[in-house]
C-alpha cells in the first residue's frame, strides 16, 4: 500500500509500506502436522499394533516368527472383519486430512493477502481437528473390538505394540498443531512502515508502527 504525499520535482516522497510477518508458531504447527503425517504412515503400514508370543498383527497383515529360524517371518493378509475395515478406512481418512491441512496452512503462510491468510489458517485448524477426531475413533475402536474376540484366538496373551502407540503419538501431534493455530488468533503481525525517499540513491526510514 503506498500513499504519495509529494510528487513534485525533486521533493522528498513519503510512501507507506505494508509488511506481513509470519509468526513462528504457525510454522511450528505445520512441522508438527508433518511429523504426525509421518507417524501415521509408519503406524498404518506396520504389523505391530498387537503382539503375542512370536506373533504380531497390524491393520493389514498378521506375521508369525518361525520357531527354527527366529529371524524369518511368515506374513499373511489379516482376515478382514467389519470393524477392522472401519479402522483401516478411518486411519486413511485421517492421514489424507492431515496432508490436506498441511497444504492449506502452507498456502496461508505463503499468501500475501491478510484476510486470505486468516481463512487458510482457520481451515487448516478445522481440518486437523477433524483428523484427530477420526483417528481417535479408530484408536479406541481397535482395542475394544479386539478384546471382544480375544477368546477366539489361539494366543492367550496379547499386548499392544509400538505401531499402536505411534498412532496415538500422531493424534497428539495433530491436536497440538491445530491447537497452536487456535491459540494464535491474531493471524499475522502487520507492520505499516513510513518511508521518506530523499533521492534516487537512498531513502530514510521515518517511522515504524506495528498494527
CA distance 25 to 184: 7
**Domain 25-187: assigned CATH number:** 1.20.140.150
d(CA 94, CA 80): 20
Q: Please give the pLDDT value at position 31.
A: 96
- Residues contacting residue 181 through CB under 8 Å, at least 6 positions apart: 26, 29, 105, 121, 122, 124, 125, 128
Question: According to the model, what pLDDT value does residue 148 have?
Answer: 81
Rounded CA-CA distance 28/36 in Å is: 12
* pLDDT confidence of residue 79: 81
pLDDT digits (tens, 9 = 90+) for 135-190: 999 999 998 888 887 776 666 678 889 999 999 999 999 999 999 999 886 655 55
Question: What is the pTM for the complete model shown?
Answer: 0.75
The pLDDT, as a whole number, for residue 98 is: 97
Helices (H) and strands (E) in the chain, counts: 4, 8
* H-type alpha helices, 111-188: 114-148, 162-183
Q: What is the pLDDT of residue 210?
A: 47
pLDDT at 181: 92
How far apart (Å, rounded) are the C-alpha atoms in residues 176 and 128? 9
* Inter-residue contact 99 to 71 (CB < 8 Å): no
Question: What are the per-10-residue average pLDDT scores of the chain (211 residues)?
Answer: 46 61 84 97 92 85 77 79 92 97 93 82 95 96 85 72 94 96 70 54 46 46
Amino acid at each position: 500500500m503506498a500513499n504519495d504525499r509529494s510528487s513534485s520535482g525533486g521533493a522528498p516522497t513519503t510512501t507507506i509500506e505494508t509488511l506481513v510477518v509470519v509468526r513462528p508458531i504457525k510454522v511450528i504447527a505445520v512441522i508438527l502436522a508433518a511429523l504426525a503425517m509421518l507417524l501415521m504412515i509408519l503406524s498404518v503400514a506396520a504389523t505391530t499394533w498387537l503382539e503375542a508370543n512370536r506373533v504380531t498383527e497390524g491393520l493389514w497383515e498378521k506375521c508369525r516368527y518361525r520357531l527354527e529360524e527366529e529371524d524369518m517371518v511368515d506374513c499373511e493378509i489379516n482376515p478382514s472383519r467389519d470393524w477392522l475395515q472401519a479402522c483401516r478406512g478411518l486411519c486413511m481418512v485421517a492421514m489424507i486430512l492431515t496432508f490436506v491441512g498441511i497444504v492449506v496452512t502452507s498456502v496461508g503462510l505463503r499468501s500475501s493477502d491478510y484476510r486470505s491468510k486468516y481463512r487458510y489458517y482457520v481451515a487448516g485448524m478445522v481440518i486437523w481437528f477433524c483428523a484427530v477426531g477420526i483417528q481417535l475413533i479408530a484408536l479406541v475402536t481397535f482395542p475394544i473390538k479386539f478384546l471382544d474376540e480375544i477368546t477366539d484366538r489361539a494366543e492367550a496373551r496379547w499386548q499392544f505394540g509400538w505401531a499402536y502407540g505411534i498412532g496415538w503419538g500422531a493424534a497428539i501431534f495433530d491436536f497440538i498443531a491445530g491447537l497452536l493455530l487456535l491459540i494464535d488468533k491474531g493471524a499475522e503481525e502487520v507492520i505499516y512502515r513510513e518511508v521518506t525517499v530523499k533521492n534516487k540513491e537512498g531513502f530514510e526510514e521515518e517511522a515504524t508502527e506495528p498494527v
